[in-house]
């Protein structure tokens, strides 16, 4: 049963009780009126006054009872509304807690260098004594790049350049024909290039760079 149905049922019950009490009073008053017709004038007057006084007392008692029942129903409705608000607040807090847990796990994985993404994967031909940039982006966390490369030349190399807090970093690593190297990085703009140092022949190279942070 929904909250609205519960409220409707409570109000309906109150109306039924109030009508029942009124019917009882009316029945009693009807019996009193019949009794008046069966007695003498003086007795009728006395009985009438007594009947009116009794009816007034019964009406006052009925009004008090109805007022008390309506007050209890209002308090019950108010308590139901408060409970609903608390449940909504609890749901909101539970969702916020779940979001915080997810954010914590995400940050913890970054601290442990468990996150990774492929920054570059492809093939290219390098002319003699030339280089090509394969990654030039801003990174938000410290970590490292794993570069895997295969080439038909022993004169290929990888070069990482970046600046951090007024300090310049320049790593240059010979790749050869097949190699896997780790290049440390800091949270700044990274420029990663692969090159061919041969002065006469071109070189074909297949490279994959994976960012770990």
Topology of domain 116-212 in CATH is Jelly Rolls (2.60.120)
Amino acid 37: pLDDT: 46
pLDDT at 47: 66
Domains of the chain, residue spans: 3-109, 116-212
Strand partners, 173: 158
Ranges of residues in the chain with a pLDDT under 50 are: 7, 33-34, 36-38, 40
Give the per-residue pLDDT at 185.
93
pLDDT tens by residue, 9-57: 555 555 555 555 555 555 555 555 445 444 545 555 666 667 677 777 7
- Alpha-carbon separation of residue 162 from 68, 113, 167, 189 (angstroms): 79, 20, 9, 6
Cα-Cα-Cα-Cα dihedral of 151, 153, 157, 158, to 10°? Answer: -10
Stretch (H or E) spanning 212: strand 203-212
Helix (H, G, I), strand (E, B) or coil at 114: coil
Sheet with strand 203-212: strands edge to edge: 116-126, 203-212, 143-151, 178-185
DSSP 146: E
Cβ neighbours for 121, distance < 8 A, ≥ 6 positions apart: 207, 208, 209
Which residues, in sequence order, are CB contacts of 197 under 8 Å at separation 6+? 129, 155, 156, 157
pLDDT score recorded for residue 22: 56
pLDDT score recorded for residue 151: 95
pTM summary value:
0.53
pLDDT for the residue 176: 86
């Amino acid at each position: 049963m929904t909250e609205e149905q519960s409220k409707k049922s409570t109000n309906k019950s109150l109306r039924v009780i109030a009508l029942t009490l009124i019917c009882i009073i009316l029945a009693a008053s009807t019996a009193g009126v019949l009794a008046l017709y069966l007695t003498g004038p003086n007795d009728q007057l006395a009985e009438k006054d007594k009947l009116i006084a009794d009816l007034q007392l019964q009406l006052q008692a009925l009004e008090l009872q109805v007022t008390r029942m309506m007050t209890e129903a209002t308090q019950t409705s108010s308590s139901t509304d408060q409970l609903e608000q608390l449940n909504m607040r609890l749901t909101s807090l539970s969702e916020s807690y779940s979001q915080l847990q997810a954010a914590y796990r995400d940050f913890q994985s970054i601290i442990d260098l468990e996150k990774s993404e492929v920054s570059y994967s492809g093939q290219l031909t390098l002319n003699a004594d030339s280089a090509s940039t394969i990654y030039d982006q801003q990174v938000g966390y410290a970590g490292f790049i794993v570069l895997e490369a295969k080439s038909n030349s022993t004169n290929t190399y990888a070069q990482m350049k970046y600046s951090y807090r007024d300090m310049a970093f320049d790593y240059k690593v010979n790749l050869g024909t097949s190699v896997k190297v780790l290049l440390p990085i800091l949270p700044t703009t990274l420029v990663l290039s692969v090159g061919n140092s041969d002065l006469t022949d071109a070189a074909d190279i297949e490279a994959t760079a994976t960012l770990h942070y």
